[in-house]
């Protein structure tokens, strides 16, 4: 296990690093969970391997699929927790030599792709937003949607859906197909824990839609 330690970079605030990926934002250094990829971390001269995404964190058989879709489940409350980092539209960052630019706005975002999930190994660790990851909660990591964007995610195989907030960055493995990394709780709601991945549709909610979630 990689012991967390403090690192300071020129012109940036000191950050705490644990099982996280170093992410160089345009305003300095921050970090994000490395659960979204088979990561190699080599900052201190040692290599640290992180977990491979899209594979169940737990054990046991896959849950039985529902015969009919269930109503959308909504995570709450809608406000980001106190102390979390603000939304970051337009900022750029780098992971494993690849640069990413956060969208200037989530308005109109609508996409289909593969979802993976992460859970037990990262429960209680910090996310890119600075808040603590709750594996049983409804949250997700996305590479380019601004932090704290609310999205409606639908499993295209069974019609199950959930509304949740983006509070982390990823996935950084299989980026050609994977577009979102869900918390275990969200994956369980979508009935995709056993399969590890699922094809999903993601739609960003408007400010008016978010206000109606309260």
Residue 8, phi then psi, degrees to nearest 5:
-120, 140
Please report which confidence band the pLDDT of residue 212 belongs to, taking 50, 70 and 90 as the band edges: confident
Residue 189 domain flag? yes
* Selection from 78, 77, 35, 48 nearest residue 187 by Cα: 35
Per the structure block, which two tokens stand in for 92? 């750029």
Handedness of CA 102, 146, 127, 181 (dihedral sign): negative
| pLDDT tens by residue, 67-111 | 445 556 665 556 677 778 888 999 999 999 999 999 999 999 999
Residue 34 domain flag? no
Residue 16 domain flag? no
Which residue range is the domain that position 170 belongs to?
A: 73-90+107-211
Please report which confidence band the pLDDT of residue 174 belongs to, taking 50, 70 and 90 as the band edges: very high
Choose the weakest-confidence range: 64-68, 155-159, 180-184: 64-68
Residue 171 domain flag? yes
> What does the pLDDT average to over 113-123?
97
Count how many domains the chain has.
1
129: CATH: 2.40.40.10
The three-class DSSP label of residue 92 is strand
Distance from C-alpha of 174 to C-alpha of 161, rounded to nearest angstrom? 23
């Amino acid at each position: 296990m990689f012991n967390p330690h403090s690192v300071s970079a020129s012109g940036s605030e000191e950050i705490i690093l644990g099982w996280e990926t170093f992410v160089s934002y345009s305003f300095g250094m921050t970090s994000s969970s490395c659960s979204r990829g088979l990561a190699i971390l080599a900052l201190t001269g040692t290599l640290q391997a992180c977990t491979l995404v899209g594979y169940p964190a737990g054990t046991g058989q896959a849950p039985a699929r529902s015969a009919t879709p269930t109503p959308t489940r909504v995570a709450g409350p809608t406000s980001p927790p106190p102390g979390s980092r603000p939304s970051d539209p337009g900022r750029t960052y780098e992971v494993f030599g690849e640069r990413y630019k956060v969208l200037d706005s989530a308005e109109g975002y609508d996409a289909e792709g593969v979802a993976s999930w992460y859970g037990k190994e990262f429960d209680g660790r910090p996310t890119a937003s600075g808040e603590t990851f709750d594996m049983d909660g409804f949250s997700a990591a996305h590479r380019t949607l601004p932090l704290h964007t609310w999205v409606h995610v639908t499993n295209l195989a069974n019609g199950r859906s959930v509304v949740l907030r983006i509070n982390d960055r990823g996935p950084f493995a299989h980026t050609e197909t994977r577009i979102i990394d869900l918390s275990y709780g969200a994956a369980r709601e979508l009935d995709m824990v056993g399969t590890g991945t699922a094809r999903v549709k993601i739609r960003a909610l408007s400010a008016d839609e978010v206000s109606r979630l309260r």
